[in-house]
Chain A
Amino acid sequence: MKRILVVDDEEAIRFLYREELQEAGYRVAVAADGEEALRMVEHERPDLMTIDIKMPGMDGIDLLRRVREIYRDLPIIICTAYGDFKYDFGTWASDAYLTKSADLAELKGKIHELLGRA
């Protein structure tokens, strides 16, 4: 079973993603901020990460860079409420950039695509 690490500072989002992705057949771990996420990556060894950008403390783009330094091939999806970060070079290191939506079809599709490729 593939493991997905969801990083988001909003509990409701973490809960929704976990419910939905578990239902879709993945093992889901969640982290509420960048520090926790880095620790979780060590322990959980996820197959894919979704990262929110706007977070207290270390933001998603920093986190993305740090994770990439260690796990060069780990698929990472940036999920954000903003469209603007798409133009930030920092986000280019991600494998996908998605705008958050209540409809998780696009997210699931992208996860499936990335994990299937890996």
Chain B
Amino acid sequence: MTPREQAEQLLEECGGGPGPGMPFWIWLQHLAARLRDRFRARECAVYLRHGEEPRLTLWAYQGEAIPGGERASRRLDAGAGWGLIRGSGVLAAPIRDADACLGLLELCRDPEVEFDGDEVGTLEAVASGLYRPLRVAFRSGCPLLHGCEVYEQARQRLAEMSALREIGQAITARLDLPAVLEAVVAGALRLLGSQHAQIILWDEASQRLRYGAAMGPEAERVRHQSLELGRGVNGVVALTRQPMILNDYQASAYALPEFPDVVATITVPVLFGERLLGVLHSHTTEVGKRFSPEDLRLLQMLADQAAIAIENARLFDEACVRSARLNALSQLSRTVTSSLDIQQVFDEAVRAAVDLLELALARVYVFQEETGLLQLRASAGAAELLPYPRQTFRPGEGGVGTVFQTRSAMTLRDAGTDPRYAEQAWARQVGVKSVAILPLLAGERAVGVLSVSRRTPRAFDAEEIGLLNSFAQHAAIAIENARLFSEAERLAQDNLLRLRQISILNEIGMAMQGTMQLDALLRVILTGVTFGGGLGFNRAILLLVDETRNVLEGRMGVGPASGEEAARVWSALGSTTRSLREAVAERAADLGQGTDSDFDRLARSLTIPLRPGAGVLALSALEGRPLRIAEARTDPRIAPEWEGRLEVDEFACVPMVAKGKVVGLIVVDNKFNRKPITEEDLEFLSVFATQAGLAVESARVYARLEEASHEVQRSHHQLLHHERLAALGEMAAHVVHEIRNPLVSIGGFARRLVRRLLDREPEGQYARIIAREVERLERIVRDVQGLARELRPARVETDLHTLLQDCTVLFAERISKQGVELRMELTERASVLSLDPVQVKQAVVNLVANALEAMPAGGTLTIATRTVREAGGPPVESSTGPPGGAEPAGAEGWTARGIDRPPGRPPGEEWVEISVGDTGGGIPEAILGEVFNPFFTTKEAGTGLGLTLVRRIARAHGGEVRVENRPGHGVTFRMRLPRASEARRGAAAA
């Protein structure tokens, strides 16, 4: 089918033309719909000419757009040729015959699907085919359309539509401002077909019109143009916001001398809502060229699209800036929270401020508590601004100081002329103009200042101030963080120090616990005080309180004697890293050697009376508090004879306290390195001294325990000794018994022989020898028996005086024979006591025999009784004592153990004392302690058991015997028997 046939078929399908009953325009609509389907077009429009005007009016439309507005009518340019119009996605065919054109048939579809020749032919045929029915329809009253005008109108309209669509696509496809502007300018050129187009943007900050984009031969010339409002045609349009065409530019009031060859101009404002964005301008240098109102209308449409695109691009740009700022802020935040390096935070804050806000300079000042000044801590900016005239500001001084004091921000438009700006001259010189100063606030407190500057007078807008505030906030947080951190660090260091002190105390404490020997302990303590790893004093002295003498006694001193020795010791210490414990162990091992230093001797020579006024050490011990003397050479409390001998400027003494009592004193100084003794040192030393005091007390208690333990051991040995004795005694008793009977026989018969052989010699002599020797043997036996036997007194009420008289009677012959004077001084009134007369008699007989023995060539024998009331009595032989009567060996008379008091005996008891005294020269001091020991004797004929028996008898009666020796004169034995308990015992025995 040829295009013509197809066209005919199409028209047929529409009924060939408007028929009766169908209005003309409805038939046109049918046709448009049919054509749209046939050509698969997006739109199909039918324009018809009205009257004689060169204008086409839309009569039918099928498509997506809503008909109306500029689409409703088109202009037809006179003189344009009649022919087919083909554009991008547009195909239009005139409705005509040979000399007249009635209208235009237009199809639009996607530019990608070109109209082929068949389609073009078909459309042309349809258009031609329409001519006749339309002539019929318009016959009466329908306007005739004149061909070329109508056609031109259509062609023009198509070009505009096409350009606008393309421009719209180009503009809206871009988001960055320069590309958008370029697309707008290109669109204007295309739309107007002129040589030059440009867009000029309104800069709110500088209040001027500035270059946006330009195309054409003039493009380079206008690139750096900057216009104030109202200047030139563009300035006027921007000011009035009214579009303007000047078809005779040079003659107009707005002609600028710099554009002498411009013939005509067209300018429209670019408005976004009410807001001026700039102007869109085009001009031509072609003589005779004019801009029509239609051009203006088109350009305004472009400008409107451009406004939206520009605003979009700006918003996008702004979003980018915002995002960059937010990034910078978050970066800063991360730095603040992740870095404790305050300098890094400052550096980053000022750098970010400079980068993001296009600053010339940003500086951070921080208030220093120590100096009371605001100190420059960080800066960033142009190198040519250096050096800054000021590094510090006083609070209240200049802009920085004022902002710090008032805690509110300040902005300066021109720092160089503003008297509030302290660096005015410098600002003028380097061209610093706009300045903003913000306080760094930590809560309510200002901690510093952020100062930023520009070299342009552009003021800081609210958003920038907001951003700067964020930076300031971050810097303030960083300062606060740093302060908290350093505080935390200081606390941590404090804790470390305390931990170190505790571990030192612990180490010394452990060393002390392991040391029970007092001297070793004192050495450990002083080592702890002076060792570098311990408390680290140069020298230390330890004094202990001697309560019996009420003095402070220097016990040990540790420290070098001279500066040279100190240097030697410390360099030796420095070369080996020894732990405190090692040092303590080493020093303790050294005990006994090398302690004999000058300083130690000085320490041990101190004996300070514990009374007020006896110097600082006595004062410290008396009051139980540490004392530090800073000016020892002039302090009036110093006693030259004690602490004065330390020859030092500063020293401290700390009492050692145990169980609430001052047991000693530690004195320390730093004589050689002259390090001041701090309050902390003193506190630490006090804690240490308390520990040391307890250790000293423990050592003392331990020493007493040890002594007691030794005593027990000694007693144990004695006990063993006595047990052996007791066993021996038992054996002796047995032997003695067996011997006794034979002795009786031997002696008895010997005596008989003596009597019989009275006058026969030498037999009589022999018998006498036998009798005498037997007598001696019998005495030994008797004594041994007495000793071995358990003495349980058989008490009866006995008159002591009578008993004593009886005893003397036994010795009457010997007394007179030796020329001894007997003095009986029986002053005791209540002489009747409950006692064992046999035992007591035996004791007295022994004492008298001893006394007489001591006075072979005469003397005075004194036998006396009296009542004694005395605190402290003799030990009582207890019923649990070993059989055979073991008693402690050694000199345990009252003379030796005067201060011991036996348990269970109240003081002030009443005693009856029997004394036997002689004038025989006394007992040599050397053997005085031995006289009560069994088998000790100085006599050839003695058994050595006499006095032992006497004491046993006395003790068996709950009494004691003591010896009162007067060397060179004589000796008196005093046997004391308790009166009260005797009565009790007597009653129990009866």
Contact = CB atoms under 8 A, between A and B. Distances in A.
A103 B775 contact: yes
A82 B785 contact: yes
Interface in B775-800: 775, 778, 782, 785-786, 789, 792, 794
A19 B752 contact: yes
B748 interface: yes
A83 B745 contact: no
Interface string B727-746: 00000000011001111111
Contacts of A16: 744-745, 748-749, 752
Given A16-B748, A20-B748, A102 B771 contact: yes
A32 interface: no
Given A10-B745, A83-B789, A102 B737 contact: no
Nearest to A23: B752
A86 B745 contact: no
Residue from B742, B748, B750 with most neighbouring chain A CB atoms (10 Å) = B748
Interface string B801-836: 000000000000000000000000000000000000
Contacts of A81: 736-737, 740-741, 744
A110 to B, nearest CB: 14
Nearest to B794: A87
A12 B750 CA distance: 13
A64 B748 CA distance: 25
Contacts of A99: 782
Contacts of A86: 794, 838
A20 B243 CA distance: 185
B129 interface: no
B747 interface: yes
B785 A102 contact: no
Contacts of B786: 83
Residue from A19, A20, A102, A104 with most neighbouring chain B CB atoms (10 Å) = A102
Contacts of B744: 13, 16, 81, 100-102
Nearest to A84: B789
A20 B745 CA distance: 11
Given A19-B752, A82-B737, A86-B794, A13 B789 contact: no
A13 to B, nearest CB: 6
Contacts of B950: none
A99 B786 CA distance: 12
A13 B741 contact: yes
B782 to A, nearest CB: 7
Interface residues of B, number: 26
B774 interface: yes
Given A12-B745, A83-B785, A100 B740 contact: yes
Given A81-B737, A83-B789, A102 B774 contact: yes
A65 B751 CA distance: 33
B990 to A, nearest CB: 13
A82 B838 CA distance: 15
Given A20-B752, A83-B786, A84-B789, A102 B747 contact: yes
Residue from B737, B771, B782, B792 with most neighbouring chain A CB atoms (10 Å) = B737
Contacts of A101: 744, 747, 778
B814 to A, nearest CB: 16
Nearest to B781: A81
Contacts of B789: 83-84
Interface in A4-54: 10, 12-13, 15-16, 19-20, 54
Interface string A99-116: 111111000000000000
Given A13-B741, A81-B740, A102 B794 contact: no
Interface string B703-745: 0000000000000000000000000000000001100111111
B751 A103 contact: yes
A100 B785 contact: no
A100 B778 CA distance: 9
Contact of B747 (A10, A15, A103): A103
Residue from A12, A20, A82, A101 with most neighbouring chain B CB atoms (10 Å) = A101
Given A16-B748, A83-B786, A102 B741 contact: no
Given A83-B789, A84-B789, A87-B794, A100 B741 contact: yes
Interface in A64-96: 81-84, 86-87
21 contacts: A13-B745, A81-B736, A81-B740, A81-B744, A82-B737, A83-B782, A87-B792, A100-B740, A100-B744, A101-B744, A101-B747, A101-B778, A102-B743, A102-B744, A102-B746, A102-B748, A102-B750, A102-B774, A102-B775, A102-B778, A104-B748
Interface of A: 10, 12-13, 15-16, 19-20, 54, 81-84, 86-87, 99-104
Given A84-B789, A102-B774, 19 more contacts: A12-B742, A12-B749, A13-B745, A16-B745, A16-B749, A20-B748, A54-B737, A81-B737, A81-B741, A82-B785, A83-B782, A86-B794, A100-B741, A100-B744, A102-B745, A102-B748, A102-B771, A102-B775, A103-B747
